[in-house]
């Protein structure tokens, strides 16, 4: 069984809207359709996209699910053979479930849409 490492920069229970302002990353080790084998959270001393990229490489991440990311870092991570689902927003758990079921796409907005307390 091939294990796969997925990294998701988070802010509380949600995906942090900006990759470059990440201070916390959750790393999930799993096979694609099975349970999470390992889960750890890395706290960064400061937000730095360069340092975060370095962390992702050191941790041997296979997939990144993140919010907005600048093109330079996006292209770099892709060049390093990391699969990037960028522009994703909402609860990180939901994003991870979607990834596991191969229904996640870059740009997915996973929030329940509400205006003035009403679902829309």
Q: Which residues bind another protein (CB under 8 A)?
A: 11, 16-18, 20-21, 67-76, 79, 86-87, 89-90, 107, 109, 111-117, 120
Of 4 and 91, the one with the shorter C-beta distance to another protein is 91
Minimum separation from the CB atom of position 33 to another protein (A): 25
Kindly tell me which of 58 and 114 has the beta carbon lying closer to another protein.
Answer: 114
Shortest reach from residue 3's CB to another protein, in Å: 26
Residues constituting the chain: 120
4 forms beta bridges with 30
Q: Which of 1, 87, 6 is nearest to 39 (CA)?
A: 6
Q: Please give the Cα distance from 120 to 52 (Å, whole number).
A: 36
**Shortest Cβ distance from residue 24 to another protein (Å)?**
12
Give the nearest distance from C-beta 81 to another protein in angstroms. Answer: 12
Q: Dig out the tokens for 2 from the structure.
A: 């091939």
Quick one: which of 73, 77, 85, 79 has its CA closest to 109?
85
Nearer to another protein, 60 or 72 (CB): 72
Output 30 or 85, the one with its CB closest to another protein: 85
Whether 9 and 19 have beta carbons less than 8 Å apart is answered as yes
């Amino acid at each position: 069984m091939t294990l796969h490492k997925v990294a998701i920069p988070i802010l509380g229970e949600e995906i942090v809207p900006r990759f470059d302002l990440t201070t916390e990353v959750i790393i999930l080790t799993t096979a694609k359709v099975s349970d999470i084998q390992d889960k750890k959270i890395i706290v960064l001393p400061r937000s730095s996209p360069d340092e975060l990229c370095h962390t992702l490489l050191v941790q041997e991440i296979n997939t990144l699910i993140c919010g907005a990311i600048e093109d330079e870092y996006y292209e770099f991570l892709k060049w390093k053979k990391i699969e990037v689902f960028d522009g994703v927003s909402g609860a990180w758990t939901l994003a991870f479930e979607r990834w596991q079921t191969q229904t996640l796409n870059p740009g997915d907005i996973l929030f329940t849409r509400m205006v003035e307390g009403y679902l829309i």
